[in-house]
């Protein structure tokens, strides 16, 4: 089973956990509906759509309402610290949570008690805390965008907001930033970097790049990074090797752009709706080869 931990932008949304489904553009968990906009709901919607094509078990989510005050995130962290070892997941993805190093470390202890230890993916706020904790190497994947990659590459920055200018200037030099992130041990075993070109890398360097099809407007659309992390989660859960899962996820995410014909005003659900079609095509080897050329 694959699992996702994150937040919902509704202060009244209670801490809840269970299987998630997607119907008519709305997520449902334990009888509660969630609008898909961006953030963790977009990640879950992407994962649910992808699971329509790929044979994966249920998608299980741990969610809580949090609008940035951190109260919901802390309740969820406290719950996970106590209860996570009771669960059995193949993949566990952490997403939009208030970055808090102390709580991160407690949750990581709880993960260590899980048998077997799941594949660990960290994105968004939890990735910030994971980097700041100095324990990035405990994770299988970080999925930064290019701005967040600069933050990982800056060994002094506790948050992307403080990334130093001379490193931000290297924004278009992802290979150097990747090298620097690994040099300072601020990257997970694998990186899937989202940008004009997507990079899959590990401590030995860049493994593969995915640059086509390319749509400039995707940079402006909120949630396209979330959908990529959702795809990566499902593909890892479907049994793909980590680097294959990352490359496929990047290709599928880009192909949704081809079908949705996006402009900067496109909303992420329009892309998610194209995901089954993109996934079907990408899993056809002949088409994959065509797209690669």
Interface residues with other proteins (CB under 8 A) are: 7-9, 37-41, 66-70, 72-73, 96-102, 104, 123-129, 132, 145, 147-148, 151, 156-163, 165, 168-169, 171, 216-217, 219-225, 263-267
Comparing CB distances to other proteins, the nearer of 132 and 279 is 132
Residue-wise over 221-248: b if at least 16 C-beta within 10 A, else e? bebbbbbbbbbbbbbbbbebebeebbbb
Comparing CB distances to other proteins, the nearer of 9 and 237 is 9
CA gap 196, 213 in Å, rounded: 10
Question: How far is residue 80 from each of residues 62, 73, 224, measured CA to CA in Å?
Answer: 9, 10, 27
CB of 84 closer than 8 Å to CB of 114: yes
Min dist CB 241 to other proteins, Å, is: 27
Comparing CB distances to other proteins, the nearer of 268 and 282 is 268
Alpha-carbon dihedral sign for residues 290, 241, 145, 150: negative
CA gap 160, 151 in Å, rounded: 5
Comparing CB distances to other proteins, the nearer of 13 and 281 is 13
Min dist CB 145 to other proteins, Å, is: 7
Min dist CB 152 to other proteins, Å, is: 11
CA gap 154, 166 in Å, rounded: 10
Comparing CB distances to other proteins, the nearer of 37 and 287 is 37
Name 290's Cβ contacts closer than 8 Å, sequence gap at least 6: none
Query: Cα 288 from chain centroid?
Result: 23
Min dist CB 179 to other proteins, Å, is: 21
Min dist CB 253 to other proteins, Å, is: 14
């Amino acid at each position: 089973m694959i699992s996702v931990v994150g937040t919902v932008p509704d202060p009244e949304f209670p801490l809840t956990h269970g299987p998630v489904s997607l119907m008519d553009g709305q997520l449902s968990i334990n009888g509660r509906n969630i609008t898909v906009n961006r953030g963790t709901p977009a990640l879950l919607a992407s994962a649910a759509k992808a699971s329509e094509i790929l044979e994966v078990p249920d998608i299980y989510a741990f969610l809580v309402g949090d609008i940035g005050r951190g109260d919901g995130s802390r309740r969820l962290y406290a719950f996970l610290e106590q209860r996570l070892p009771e669960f059995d997941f193949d993949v566990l993805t952490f997403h939009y949570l208030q970055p808090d190093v102390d709580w991160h470390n407690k949750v990581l202890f709880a993960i260590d008690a899980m048998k077997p230890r799941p594949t660990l993916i960290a994105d968004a706020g939890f990735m910030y805390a994971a980097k700041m904790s100095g324990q990035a190497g405990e994770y299988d994947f970080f999925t930064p965008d290019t701005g967040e990659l600069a933050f990982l590459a800056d060994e002094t920055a506790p948050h992307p907001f403080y990334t130093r200018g001379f490193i931000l200037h290297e924004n278009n030099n992802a290979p150097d930033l990747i090298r620097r992130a690994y040099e300072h041990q601020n990257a997970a075993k694998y990186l899937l970097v989202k940008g004009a070109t997507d990079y899959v890398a590990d401590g030995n360097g860049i493994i593969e790049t995915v640059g086509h099809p390319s749509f400039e407007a995707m940079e402006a659309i909120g949630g396209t990074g979330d959908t990529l992390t959702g795809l990566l989660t499902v593909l890892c859960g479907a049994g793909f090797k980590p680097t294959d899962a990352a490359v496929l996820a990047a290709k599928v995410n880009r192909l949704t752009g081809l079908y949705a014909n996006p402009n900067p005003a496109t909303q992420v659900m329009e892309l998610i709706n194209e995901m089954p079609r993109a996934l079907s095509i990408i899993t056809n080897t002949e088409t994959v080869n065509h797209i690669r050329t």
